[in-house]
Structure 1
Amino acid sequence: MTSTLNADPAELAKFSDLAHRWWDMNGEFRPLHQINPLRLDWINGICPVTGQQILDVGCGGGILADAMARLGAHVTGIDLSTKALRVAQLHALEAQTPNVQYREVSVEALAVQQPGGFDAVTCMEMLEHVPDPASVVRACAALVRPGGWVFFSTLNRSPKSFLLAIVGAEYVLNLLPRGTHEYAKMIRPSELAGYCRVADLDLRHTRGMEYNPLTKRYWLSADTSVNYLFALQKPADAVL
């Protein structure tokens, strides 16, 4: 691992330490399991995944990658956490998930190897954990074919997000391990939209995600003040 890699060693260590819990539905990653059907339905409604070549960036233990493969996509999941990838691979073997593979490679390195190699790229809950999110956006844009789709989800840097996603989720409700998110690394929608424009991605759809701690229910809405999702399209006439 070189010093120029777009990754925070502390972030990698944090998720590596929890890797064995990825598929524990009642463990630290329970919120990811709960929101996964929402994310999957939204992605599949915009870009039907069956038969598509899809890259999942920052795949972790493979929660989204595995679900997309089960819908008929040909999925490549990439991450820089060796332990999380081993968990993802083991789960795919145990669950006999078809058409999914995992690689330990940075998105920037893969963009050099396979420009335009995918019909769609997903990068969920990952941008707020890297030193240079704009670099990830550029790499995702390079990896998708002209006319293809790129999906991001991340956390807004807002007072409401601080209260709900950090104080509430990590310290009051214990939905996430303490220290999962850093407020300074959160990204405003306007900032992410700017990174995407520079990368020549056209923003087509935006959604927010909300949570009710009483009913323990998540849903998608127009409120992007905490969690939000972007669906972007690479121009069909883009030059690789």
Structure 2
Amino acid sequence: MTISTKANADFDEIGKFTRLADEWWNKNGAFKSLHDINPLRLNWIDDTLKSHFGSSLAHKKVADIGCGGGILSCAMAVRGADVLGVDLGEENLKAGEIHAQRVGIDNVSFACVAVEELAKEQAGSFDVVTCMEMLEHVPDPQAIVRACFELLKPNGICVLSTINRNPKSYLFAIVGAEYVLGLVDKGTHDFHKFITPAELDRMAIESGFERFDMTGLHYNPITKHYWLSNANVDVNYMMAFKKADNT
């Protein structure tokens, strides 16, 4: 595990998650909602790769930026990818390493390094870069998107997820999720850091990406059912971008 002291990061934000490091692999604990949505986002990533590359995650080299305790990282490794999980919370990464060792996943590793530094060290090294539920927690999301671009090989795919910024997202992602339903801890999100799809699209295009696909994530609090829909990206959403091969 490499360690970096430089970071485009809010360490108060990182502390929110490292204080819960022991909860990462409790599927009914503090990160239950991430476990619940993980199959949806994993399948969407896999399907996106199939439509782009003609093949799935298997045998792809993947960087999972802001991986936390490795919920998505380990799932992609189970699908056959060679995964590097990247985070600035050392306790989160330890949780991921322990889980991977416990269940025998040997094609995932973890690094405590800023993504901007990783991009300098391993530019053009990855087929796929994912960055899920992280951009709304950093001071400069544009720099993260740019680093994701640099990490990719030509023709690689980047999948980003974040939260839209509008009255509905405030009601659902903060009032509902944090204060009414208790899906995540109070204070997890700052509405002013939410990112509209147009803003994320602009960040990606300015970094050199071409938009490939987009979908919204939805939740019914009565049935406790999550699903994806391309027709609505009002709250949580994912975007896939391609690094064009200009050679």
Q: What is the TM-score normalised by the length of structure 1?
A: 0.97
- State the alpha-carbon separation in 2 of the partners of residues 63 and 116 from structure 1: 25
1:125 and 2:136 matched: no
Q: CA deviation at 1:189?
A: 0.6
Structure 2 match to 1:20: 22
Give CA deviations for 1:9-43 in whole Å, capped at 9, x if unaligned. Answer: 10011111011100111111000000000000000
Aligned to 1:57: 65
Alpha-carbon shift at residue 116 of structure 1 (Å):
0.5
Task: Tell me, in whole angstroms, the C-alpha distance in 1 between the residues paired with 2:188 and 2:241.
Answer: 27
Distance 1:213 1:54 in 2: 33
What's 1:233 paired with? 242
Please give the residue correspondences for 1:53-202 in structure 2 after superposition, counting only pairs within 5 Å: 53-202=61-210
2-side partners of 1:127 and 1:148: how far apart?
20
Determine the C-alpha separation between the residues in 1 that align with 2:181 and 2:48. Answer: 33
Deviation beyond 4 Å, 4+ runs, structure 1 = none
Decide whether the 8 Å contact of 1:70 with 1:98 is kept in 2.
no
Matched, 1:45 2:53: no
Q: Percent identity?
A: 49
Q: Which runs of 5+ in 2 are unaligned?
A: 50-55
2:52 maps to which residue? none
**3-state SS of the aligned residue for 2:215?**
strand
Query: Secondary structure of 2:234's match?
Result: coil
Deviations 1:26-81 (A, max 9, x none): 11100000000000000001111100000000000000000000010000000000
Q: For the residues of structure 2 that align with 1:77 and 1:101, how far apart are their CA atoms?
A: 6
Q: Which letter maps to 1:236?
A: D
Alpha carbon RMSD of aligned pairs, Å?
0.9
Shift in Å at residue 237 of structure 1? 1.3
Q: How many residues align?
A: 237
**Contact 1:69-1:75 at 8 Å conserved across structures:** yes
Cα shift at 1:98: 2.5
